[in-house]
Structures are given as structure tokens and as C-alpha cells.
Chains A and B, each alone.
Chain A
Amino acid sequence: MQKADRFCSIHKLPVFFILILSLIFASCGGESKNNVTEGIKDQILHMGNGTEPQGLDPHVVTGVQEFNIIVALLEGLVAEDPKTLEPIPGAAESWTVSDDLKTYVFKMRKGAKWSNGDPVTAQDFVYSWKRLISPGLAAEYAYQLFYLKNAEKYYKGEIEDFNEVGVKAVDDSTLEVELNYPVPFFLSLLSHHSLFPVHRATIEKFGDIDSRVSKWTLPGNFVGNGPFVLKTWELNKIITVEKNPLYWNADIVRLNGIHFYPTDNEQTEERMFRSGQLHLTSTVPIDKIEVYNEKSPELIRTYPYLGTYYYMFNTLRKPFDDPKVRRALAMSIDRRQIVERITKGGQMPAYAFTPPNTMGYTPEAAIPFDIEGAKKLLAEAGYPEGKGLPECELLYNTLDAHRKIAVAIQQMWKNSVNVNITLVNQDWKVFLDSQRTQNFLISRASWIGDYPDPNTFLDMWVTDGGNNHTGWSNKEYDSLIAKAAQTIGQKKRYEYFQRAEKILTEEVPILPIYTYTKISLIRPEVKGWYPNVLDHHPYQYVYLEK
């Protein structure tokens, strides 16, 4: 064997390899910089923003990620107080409400401009809302306007003339809105992105009023009336916005720009934060929460969020057609263990559906944690010691957090009431399909409130409600929710809700587990980022300071 000889010929290979590697290194040479410190210097906020947004058309998109960007680019009639979420003047300077609470008159702000210099007028809102309920656009959030007189009819094509819909521009600076019935949370609704204005000339330059597929939302095309304007958009990489000098309140805006990163992977996002690429993350991996809480509590922030994590039963199928079985299962899980040992993010155990302190409403009824009582209920239902109960499937969508909770609850039921559950996970779309076709026995679910009012939680469970996949129906409950909708006094309304909630905790079509919290990693230099239940943070009040 001539080893030496052999080596001479192959030794060229590693040389070649080193060459390649150095090429890669060279192609990205330069000085390293850190987004966090650079950002503080330049007042540029770098934030992780979940997934790549579907788009930036306020009438088409549906997600939270999209809202986070759109709210920088557009402003509705009313804006939100950054701390309390109370409606404050936005594109409208002021407003009046009629005595029957059905007519709102908005005075448009004088001198408010679009980012191309055009004035923001009442007609812009009429046009935008017309667009939202144009059947051709097929906006997912069109129903947000169905509170307006004749809006639903217009959407369904029952009336052709938009002038009959309850919104009109009396003149350039006066907008009159007429509702079907009093809607106590109507002003809060106005800060939802689907009711934001769009710039008519821009929409029509790139398509028709009802073009979903349109280029108007691309950088360079986008015209907005918000505190920032769209600067760049690289798919799956970054979206940047910069300060809009024409914004009516530009003086208070201290950030020069925001960089939004689509961070699909929470582990990656956390590493980006740790290495100084982000000021702010959209979430925190469960197992990192403890570490941050212990080692650097100043970097992690947790606050209540208007949402409930729950399981729902298919009440049309055995054995869950029996409320006793449902209630027994709901009574036999240790929610405190789940939030302390599994989710770890400061969530609150939920013993009723509506989160506590939703605009002053805290449910009085509660599902007790009572294993003995649960055993008794099961025996009454004909399954003493869990005997005779068929093995049931618990459905959840594929996500680590859901799996952990399901695994813990599976064991709890086995240990406490001897009920055996099989876990089944499905990918998101299959999961939604199974829910919709009621092809499940127990299914994981969650509900995030659309607006801060108990109604957004409780009106879900009316008979045949669109999101009520449980098949549960209760006449008394339906009538209580209907009554609440027509009641004006907040106290009286809440009484109806309390009674409805009581029925819900007795019948248990759904099994509330915990109330959500919003957890994020945030650099202490980020100021003006106030906790609130909707996790809304108007950027005009945010700034960076050492």
C-alpha cells in the first residue's frame, strides 16, 4: 500500500473545500451590528410578528399579525387609549350619539391628510364601508358592519342601492351612522381594522372596489392615514414602516420606523431576541418562561388577555349528550396544576367561560373542582367508577402547547374519575374541518374576544350559532342573550349575562380551562408599551429610551 502517494492526489479536495467555505464567508463579510442598540439610537423598533401576513388590505385580512401592521398604517374614526382601550378621537375629531343610541354623528378631523396629501373626508369612510360589504369582495369581516341599518340586506343583495344603508356623508366633514339597534360596544368596534378607511383613488387605480387580488397594498402604492407609511416588504423576511410626516398627530410620534419580522418559529424568535436582533417578541416558548422569570424577569412581560382556552363536547353524541357526564369531567381536572406546571405563563384557571373583569363583568357562576362530586355525577349518569364509559377521543390541533395540556388532562381524568381518553391530533385545517362537521367527541378550542364586552363570549353558544360546534341548545339561554342585546343599561345587561353564564356552567357544553395571558419578551428600553386585554399597542405612543 502506498499511502503517501494516495494522499498527494486527494489532498486537493480539502483545499477545494476550504476555498468554498471562505467564499461563503467572504460573500457576507463586513462588520457586525446589533439591531437592539442601533434601533435605540435611530428610534427603530424591531419586533417579532408571528407569521407572514396574508396581506395588508384592512378589508381582506383576518389575523392578529396583519392587524399589528395595519394599525401603524391606517387610523379608524376612533382610536384607542393605549392604557385603557377607551375610544379616543382618531380620524373623527368628536362624535355625538342620539338618545336612543342608534344614531352616531362623527365630525371629521380638520386638516387630517392621507399620506399622499389628500384630505381625509367623510366620503372616504362611506366608500370604505361600502367596499367592506360589497358582496364581490367577500370580506371575511363584512359581518362587523351588519349592525348598520340595511347593511346585511345590501350584502345579501336584497337591496341594490347603497344609499339605503345606514351610513352617509352629510358633508365632507360629517359622517352619520344609523344602527339597527343600540350596540353598546359600537365605538370599540370602530378601532377594528375592518372598519378602517382606505384611499379611494388608490383602490381604483389598482382595481375595482371589490378586487381582493390587488397590488394597492404594496410598498410605493399604499396610501394610508396612519402614523406610519409602508416602506419595504420582503416576503417571509421583513416589513418596514417609517414615520408619516403628514399624520395629523405626527408631533407625538417618536419612533422613526418599525421593522416587523415574520417569526414562524418561536424558538428562533427567542434566539433572535437573545442575540439582540429584536426588541420585542410575539410569544415565548413555554419552557423558556421559567428561565426568564428566574434569571431576567425584567425582560419578560405577562398580562391578562381577553381569551379563554377550553374544550368543547359534542353534545349530540353519547356519552356527552348527558350533562352529568360533561359536568363530571369538568369538575375533575385540576386547572391550577395545568397553569402552574404546564402552561407556566401566569394564566388564570377558568371556572366559567367569560374571562374575569371583561369591561367590569366577572362571572359569578363557577364549575367547582370536586372529584368526589364528579364521581357521584358519573355514577348517577350510569357510569360508576367510570365503568361502561366508552373510550373517547380528544381532538387537538398539532401544537406543542395543546399536546402538553391534553396529555396532562388525559392523566387527570384517568386518575381522578377513571375515564380513559385517547388523544388525536390533526393539522390545523383538518382540525377545523372536523370541528365544523362535528366529527369529534371532545375538541380543544379557544376564543379570543373581538371587542371588550362579555357578549363576544356568550353569544357564541346560542342555538345554531356559527361557532357553536357543540350542538348544544338551550331556549332559556338563547332568550337571555337576546334580551341582553336589546337592553341599554349596562347593569341590567350584565345581570342577563350572569344568568346565562350560570346555565353554561351547569350544562357544561364547554369545559373552560384557563384565561389567556399575553406573554412576550421585551427589552426594558421599549417605553409606552402598556398592557391591555386586547394586546393593542398604538405605536404613536411607543418609543425607545436607554
Chain B
Amino acid sequence: MRRRIARLLLFLFVLLSLSGCWDARELNQLALVMAVGIDRDPDTNRYIVTIQVARPASSRGQQSGGGGAEPVYTASADGDTLFTAIRNLAQFTSRRIMWAHNNIVVIGESVAKHDITPVVDFFTRNQELRMRTWVVVARDTTAKAIITAKTGMEDIPANSLSAVLRYAALPGETLRTDMNELMDTFLSNDQHPVISGVQLRPGDASPGAGGGTGPTPQVELRGTAIFNGTRLVGYLESDQGRGLVWLRKEMKNAVVAVPCPETDVPLGITVELRSPKIRLRPTFEGSTPVIQVRVETEGWLSERDCPFGAANVSGVKEKISGWVEDDIRQSIEATLSSLQKEFKTDAVKYGSYFHSEYPDWWAANRERWSELFPQVKTRIQVSVHISKMGLFVRPPMPTFPQ
């Protein structure tokens, strides 16, 4: 018995010495990448990778180190492939680059217009990277410019951008895409990827935590990038973007402004749409594929800048809801018209509905889908129910005789 225990202990010790601590890495020997940007130099065909790394010494905790040091460190390097570029970064980065905490991948327009395959491949192949990383496209600028831009609110700019994306549902004008969804749509045969765009907004923010003088440009969400397969074909602007959000069933909350019902003040009333429900149903009219869209939503009156009598509330409600319905219908139609006529790209997953509802038809027509999509008819039915008028019955206006 004692011999057996001794042998077991010996065995365990040998096991320990074999494994050692090969995987052990101290946190302060790591460069925690917060955001990464990928650009492509069209002349040399080389990739330029820019990383934003948190500098823990100055981003948190005691300020005993160098007081005004920048909270992040940005560096970029180029290489023939993404991976060689990242390896080249290591040549002048003192710490081992660690991707697990990466928040955002910024795809430069140069890469997006050429081919996003290497980006999708690299960021999904590596086990250290998270699939919940946000993906954005840098519009009219390089990814490097987005990555190096400072921000006013947060110490680490990447955190600011990821928070902006997290709350993107509030304005409801752009879609947000994470790496998981990008891979999903990229690999599927019945839909095309969409990625939200970011832009530098010429500065009206105060200098950021990193110091500097004068207003600094801020990164803002603007538009949605539409891809046809592997390539960027164009952007949907905000109003069309809203239609896209509706059609992809991502709308959580939207705000619509409508005119006053009894006077002619344009856009005096704001309605907030709560918990909307969207249904899309594929059918055929003859041989033409048709999608029936049904939107049902509740509306809360959240702002009113014009008077209307308390007597005719139900009539007013009807008028308002009619306008809101029109507004939603128009934004959906605007989106569809640019997708079908301009980009000829199925960014609204129409293909996937036919795929799952009519698999045989889909199998026969899959190859022709990009030709068929522009001809798909959409029948839109919207119903809005104004359920709350807020706390006021009459608009708050001074009653003191003028």
C-alpha cells in the first residue's frame, strides 16, 4: 500500500515537471488588444494592421506612474498577410499580444472594397478571439484613423466605440454586427452580410483624457455597409438604414416625428415605438416571389409641440397612427428600392425565407437568386396603435394672458 502511494506520488510529480507552467503568462506581460483595424495598401497589396492596446499602468488604479501618460498605446505594422502583419507588430511591441479582450474589429474601406475573406478567416480561425467582437467598416477613411482617434468620455477609445454600438438599438438607424453574425451571413448561401459603418465626425468634443489641444474628431456610427458576397457595394444612409433594421427584425425601439394634426406645424409630434413585432412571409403571385411584411407596434406619444383639443383624442390618435404607419412604410420601401435597384444585393435575408419555406423552389432557383431578388415584390402592412399620451392631456403652455 505504502509503495503504491509512493509510486503514485512520484508519477504525479513527473507529470507536474512535464507540464510545467508552459501556458502561464502574467497579466502584466500581456498587451491586451482593445481594438484592431485592418487596412490594405492597394499599391503594394500589403495589409496594414493597427492595434489599440490598453496601458494598464495609466488606464486604471494609482496614478503613481507617469501622470499624463496615454491610457492606450496604438501601433501599426504591415505584412503580406494579416498574420505576418501581426507578427511584425511583435517586433516592436514589448508585450505578447493577447486578443481575448478585443472589442472591435474595424475593417478599412480599402479592405472592404477589395475582399473581406482574410478578415473573416483570421478572426474566426484563431481560438483566442471572441466571436462576440463587434465589426465595423471605416467609411471614407482608414481603419487606422478610427483606431487612433481619441475620445472624450472614456479612457480607452475602444470602450467608447463598443458602448456606442451597444446602444445602437436606441436610434434604430444602423445594424450592428458581431463576428459571429458576420461569419454566419458570410458563409450562408441565402443572404449577404451587412456591417455598420463608422466615420470620423469633425471635432466638437473637448480634448480627451489623453490630453491634446482643441476639439478632437469623434468616431460616430453612420450608415450601414452593404456587402455583395465578399465585397462592399455601398452604404445605406440613415433613413434607408431604418428600413433595413425593420426588415431584419432588429428594431427594438424607434422614434418617428409626424406633423401636428390640427395645425400645419411640420413634425411637431414625436412618437416612440415600443416593442414592435415584425413578420415576413414568403409567397408567390403567379411565378413572382413575394414577401408579405407585417409590422405591428405600439406607439407612445413622447413629445408634442402643438395644441390639440382634448375633445377629439381618438380622432387625433387615428391621424397620428396613420402618419406613423406611412413613415414606417416609406422607410421600408426606400430601403428596398436602393437594395433592389441600386445594389442588387439581398441584404434583408429574403433568400433565407424562401430557402426555409420552399426548399425545392430554392434548390432550383438558388443560382438565379441574385437576378430574381430585384424583382421580388414586397407587400407591406403596418398597424400602429397609439397607446399612451404621456402624463399630459394638454400641452404644457403658459396660460397667463399675454
Chain B binds chain A: no
Please give the residue numbers on chain B whose beta carbons come within 8 Å of chain A beta carbons, in ascending order: none
